[in-house]
Amino acid sequence: MNHPKTPHVVDARYMEPPEPFVQTMEMLDRLQPGERMLLLLFREPHPLYKILRQNGHDYETELTADGTFEILISR
């Protein structure tokens, strides 16, 4: 799935936990330095945020009108 922000997208909006977490971590493993990935969810993943911070990833979150949280994560 392509998105204007990045071609690397995990659309986890209809996935059951812990699948969004697993797929995000797998995609982060595959990203090259400097690349960014986008996680789409209908909630803010605070446990994931904590792990991203611990692992030195930057992220920014935007809530869109339909209730999707777009979380842009740097490698």
Partner 1 sequence: MQALLSFENAPPFAAPLRFFLTAPAFGVLGGVLLAWFGADIMASRWMPATLALTHLITVGFMLQIMLGALIQILPVVAGANLPRPLLLARVVNVGLSLGTLLLAGGFLHSHPSLLAAGAGVLGLTACIFLGSAALALRGVPTTSPTIRGLKLAMLGLGGVVGLGLILALALVFGWNIPLLQLVDLHAAWGFAGWGGVLLAAVAFVVVPMFQLTPGYPARPSWWFPRVILGVLMLWTLAVLARWPAVIALCQAAAALVGTAFALLTMRLQSLRRRARPDVTYRYWQLGLVAAIFALIMLFTAAVSPAIVDNPRWTIAFGVILMAGAFIPFIIGMIYKIVPFLAWLHLQNCGQAKVPAPAMNKLLPDSEMQAQWRSYLVAFVLLALACLFPEWFARVSGVAFAVANAWLMLTLLRAIRRYRQHTVLILEKLAAR
CB of 36 to partner 1, least distance (A): 19
- Paired with 8 in beta bridges are 37
Residue 49 CA to residue 54 CA, distance in Å, equals 9
CB of 43 to partner 1, least distance (A): 5
CB of 13 to partner 1, least distance (A): 7
Annotate 24-53 with DSSP letters as a single string.
Answer: HHHHHHHPPTT-EEEEEESS--HHHHHHHH
Judged by CB under 8 A, the chain residues 12 through 51 that form the site for partner 1 are 13-14, 16-18, 21-22, 25-26, 29, 42-44, 46-47, 49-51
